[in-house]
Amino acid sequence: MTDQAVSHQEGAAAAAPSTAQPASQPSGLDLVGLTKVFAGGTVAVDDVNLHVDHGEYVVLLGPSGCGKTTTLRMIGGHEYPTEGDILLDGQSLVDLPPHKRPTTTVFQHFALFPHRTSLQNVEFGLKMHGVSRTERRAEAMKALEMVGLETLHDRKPGALSGGQQQRVALARVLVTKPQALLLDEPLGDLDRLLQLRMRVELRELQRQLGLMFIHVTHNQEEALSMADRIVVMNDARIQQVADPLTIATKPATEVVARFMGDNNIVRGKVTQRDGDRLVVEDEQHVKASVHAPGARHAVGDPGMIAIRAAAVTVDADGSTAGELNSAECEIVFVEFLGDLVKLHLVAGGERMLAKVGAEEYPRLRGREGERIRISWREEDVQLLDS
Ligand SMILES: Nc1ncnc2c1ncn2[C@@H]1O[C@H](COP(=O)(O)OP(=O)(O)OP(=O)(O)O)[C@@H](O)[C@H]1O
Ligand SMILES: [Mg+2]
């Protein structure tokens, strides 16, 4: 949440007329109070404040309908904001049409012209900008080189693999030398193996080019693997902005903890407080301590915590009812996933999940219905904003 507040400040400062001191030129993209209400009253984007640096790879992540595409369309100029501003290096973009903006959008379907060669497909973007034929050729070849496809310049899309087609599509947008690339679910249509390869390729390409990429997805893993920073959206608003490790291990809100998956969310009461350390207990015998600097909770207040499934360990058998940071559970289902095992458990009436390494599978296989003890470390417990 602090990130947003800071961004808002920066955005506001960028918007103010500069009186002196050219030393601190605003740099990067600022969304300031960006809001979109569609005819009919749907609030698709609600007061979004965000700063993105040049060269940064930012992923907008969230469930279907949360406003990701609408945000991207406003940045690209395909949708006009109801309120707020979009600034690039301090200059407002909102009144510029898409082709006058220093941004280029890559839509969900990479849509190449099937009857044109790679080179002709790439040239097309420049034709729209009125660049001469010779210059177009040279620029398009350079762009194909950037994506490693110069030798395939005279192939038509039908004679290229899915990944190669995607690279042609990328070359087609890169050739216009945008300052920011806007990508809406760019890997959405690809089969899984190609998706995994394109993640790495896209990220490598972005690093080489040093360009700002804003990438929209509803795929958590894709966001974690690719982003410098993830913006988690829900219901038209930003929930949390942070680097992937923080999003994965320190979700700020219940929505983020649930959306990122595999978090055990326990709603209970604060039963002890000792400085920044709280103990939260539910009625089902889950009792966890959490280090939460700045928490305003007092003893007796409701408290909600998240315990990452991957941080839960399965202990040697034995009863430890009521012990801190451990719980006695019944095994509901042992789910083997190749490189890990998901243990579906129930503690009291509460469903819990533990993710352990595949090497544990022989020990756990077929033990549904049995009782085991699980535990976790205090540092893997996160207090959530409710
Ligand atoms: N042109 C439109 N007119 C009216 N409502 C719209 C329009 N475009 C989008 N919406 C609504 O705005 C909300 C946000 O839509 P948006 O397309 O931005 O979501 P999204 O996060 O990209 O979802 P998805 O992951 O499904 O692509 C949704 O409730 C959607 O129905
Ligand atoms: Mg969308």
Q: Residue 309: give its domain's CATH number.
A: 2.40.50.140
Mean pLDDT of the 185-192 span = 81
pLDDT at site 375: 92
Q: So what's the pLDDT on residue 22?
A: 54
Residue 360 clears pLDDT 70, i.e. is over it: yes
Query: What does the DSSP 8-state code read for residue 336?
Result: E
Same domain assignment for residues 287 and 240: no
Once rounded to an integer, what is the mean pLDDT over residues 137-166?
90
Let me know if residue 256 belongs to a domain.
Answer: no
Residues 281 and 178 in one domain: no
pLDDT band (50, 70, 90) for residue 14: very low
Show which of 197, 218, 249 is a domain's final residue.
249
As a whole number of angstroms, the distance between CA 316 and CA 338 comes to 23
Region of poorest pLDDT, from 126-130, 246-250, 342-346: 126-130
Mutate to test the pocket of ligand 1, among 31, 46, 59, 66 (most ligand atoms within 8 A of CB): 66
- In this structure, the residue with its CA closest to atom 27 of ligand 1 is 64
Testing ligand 1's pocket by substitution, the residue of 31, 35, 38 carrying the most ligand atoms inside 8 A of its CB is 38
Q: Would you say residue 247 has pLDDT above 50?
A: yes
Strands 180-184, 212-217: pairing kind:
parallel
Looking at the fold, whether 191 and 274 belong to one and the same domain comes out as: no
pLDDT for residue 349 is more than 50 = yes
Does any domain span residue 222? Answer: yes
pLDDT at 23 over 90: no
Q: State the DSSP H helix or E strand holding residue 181, giving kind and residue range, or none if neither.
A: strand 180-184
Q: 344 in a domain, yes or no?
A: yes
Strand, helix or coil for residue 100:
helix
* Ligand 1, pocket-test mutation among 59, 60, 70, 75, most atoms within 8 A of CB: 70
pLDDT digits (tens, 9 = 90+) for 207-229: 988 999 999 999 999 999 999 99
pLDDT bracket for residue 80 (50, 70, 90): very high
Do 183 and 106 belong to one domain?
A: yes
Q: Which of 102-116, 180-194, 302-316 has the highest mean pLDDT?
A: 302-316
Ligand 2 centre from 75 Cα, in Å?
14
Q: Give the number of the atom of ligand 1 that is nearest the alpha carbon of residue 40.
A: 4
Question: Does the residue 302 lie in any domain?
Answer: yes
Whose Cα sits closest to atom 29 in ligand 1?
Answer: 65
Q: Are residues 199 and 231 in the same domain?
A: yes
Residue 309 has pLDDT above 80, yes or no: yes
- Is residue 10 over pLDDT 50? no
Q: Does some domain include residue 42?
A: yes
Give domain status of residue 255, yes or no: no
Give yes or no for residue 60 having a pLDDT over 80.
yes
Pocket around ligand 1 at a 6 A CB cut-off: 38, 40, 42, 44, 62, 64-70, 218
pLDDT at 148: 87
If one compares 235 and 21, the residue with the highest pLDDT of the two is: 235
CA of 296 to the centre of ligand 1 (A): 36
Q: Which residues are near ligand 2, the ion (C-beta closer than 5 Å)? A: 69
User: Is 62 within the bounds of a domain?
Assistant: yes
- The yes-or-no verdict on residue 12 having pLDDT over 70 is no
Helix H or strand E encompassing 274? strand 263-274
* Residue 10 alpha carbon to ligand 2 centre in Å: 27
Q: Counting atoms of ligand 1 from 1, which one is nearest the CA of 60? A: 21
**Nearest alpha carbon, ligand 1 atom 13:** 44
CA of 75 to the centre of ligand 1 (A): 15
Q: Is the pLDDT of residue 19 over 60?
A: no
Share of the chain above pLDDT 90, in %: 67
| 157 in the same domain as 49 | yes
Residues 32, 87 contacting (CB under 8 angstroms): yes
Pairwise CA distance, residues 14 & 277, whole Å: 39
Which of 47-56, 168-177, 186-195 shows the highest mean pLDDT? 47-56
Domain count, the chain: 2
Assess whether 234 and 270 both reside in one domain: no
Q: Which residues pair with 340 in a beta bridge?
A: 357
Whether residue 280 has pLDDT greater than 70: yes
Whether residue 134 is predicted with pLDDT greater than 70 in this model: the reply is: yes
Domain that holds residue 312: 262-383
Give the closest ligand to the alpha carbon of residue 80: 1
Distance (Å) from CA 72 to ligand 2 centroid:
9
Which domain-ending residue is among 227, 249, 271?
249
Last residue of a domain, one of 218, 249, 280: 249
Q: Which ligand lies nearest to the CA atom of residue 40 in the structure?
A: 1
Q: Which pLDDT belongs to residue 7?
A: 37
Judge whether 304 lies within some domain.
yes
* Helix 192-209, helix 162-174: angle, nearest 10: 30
Q: What is the mean pLDDT of the chain?
A: 88
**What is the pLDDT, as a whole number, of residue 108?**
58
CATH of the domain at 34: 3.40.50.300
Report the nearest-CA residue for atom 25 of ligand 1.
64
The ligand with the least distance to the CA atom of 183 is: 2
The upper half-sphere exposure of residue 280, i.e. CA atoms within 13 Å in the direction of its Cβ, equals 23
Looking at the fold, whether 292 and 344 belong to one and the same domain comes out as yes
191 and 307 fall within a common domain: no
Q: Are residues 287 and 209 in the same domain?
A: no
